[in-house]
Amino acid sequence: MRHLVLVLFVAALALPAHATVFTVTSAADVPDDDVGDGICHAELGLPGTCTLRAAVQEANAHAGADQINLDAGQLYTLTRSGSDDTALVGDLDITDDVTILFFASGERPIVDAGGLERAFDVHGGNVTMLGFDITGGDATLPSDQAGGGIAVDFDAGVVQLSLMRFYGNRANFGGGLYNDGPDTRCSACEFFDNEEADDFVDSAGAAVLNRGTLVIDHSSVHANHGVGELGAFAIRNVPPFSGSPSLSVVDSTIADNLGIGVGNLDAATLVVRNSTIAANSNVGIAVSGVGGTFQMRNSVIAKNGGQDCTVSAGATLNLNRYNMDSDDTCELAGGSSNYPGVEPQLTPLAIHGGFTPTAWPLVTSPMVDAGHPVIGAIGCEEDDQMFAERPADGDGDGNARCDVGAIELSDDVLFHDPFERL
User: Going by C-beta distance under 8 Å and a sequence separation of 6 or more, which residues neighbour residue 354?
Assistant: 3, 4, 385, 386, 387
Residue 354 lies in a domain: no
Question: Residue 307 CB: number of other CB atoms within 10 A?
Answer: 18
Tell me: pLDDT of 9 over 60. no
Residue 391 lies in a domain: no
Tell me: pLDDT of 205 over 60. yes
Residue 328 lies in a domain: yes
Domain of 277? 113-339
Count of domains for the chain = 1
Write down the pLDDT at residue 105. Answer: 86
Tell me: pLDDT of 413 over 70. no
pTM of the entire structure?
0.94
The answer to whether 132 and 110 are in contact (CB under 8 A) is: yes
**Average pLDDT for residues 161-179, to the nearest whole number?**
97
Range in 163-167, 229-233, 402-406 the model is least confident about: 229-233
Short-list 404, 415, 422, 402, CA closest to 275? 404
Short-list 176, 261, 174, 175, CA closest to 211? 174
Tell me: pLDDT of 366 over 90. yes
Write down the pLDDT at residue 240. Answer: 85
Write down the pLDDT at residue 345. Answer: 96
Beta bridge pairs of residue 380: 375
Residue 143 lies in a domain: yes
Short-list 244, 230, 181, 243, CA closest to 208? 181
**Average pLDDT for residues 263-281, to the nearest whole number?**
97
Residue 29 lies in a domain: no
**Average pLDDT for residues 133-146, to the nearest whole number?**
91
| Cα–Cα dist 62/42, whole Å | 16
**Three-point CA angle 195, 200, 206, nearest 5°:** 20
Question: What are the φ and ψ backbone dihedral angles of 295, each rounded to 5 degrees?
Answer: -115, 140
Q: Running DSSP on this structure, what letter comes out for residue 146?
A: B
Residue 34 lies in a domain: no
- Name the pairing type of β-strands 110-112 and 120-122: unpaired
Report the mean per-residue pLDDT for the chain: 91
User: Going by C-beta distance under 8 Å and a sequence separation of 6 or more, which residues neighbour residue 414?
Assistant: none
Residue 377 lies in a domain: no
CATH of the domain at 328: 2.160.20.10
pLDDT in tens, 36-58: 999 999 987 777 899 999 999 99
Residue 78 lies in a domain: no
User: What Rg do the C-alpha atoms of the chain give, in angstroms?
Assistant: 21
| Cα–Cα dist 208/284, whole Å | 15
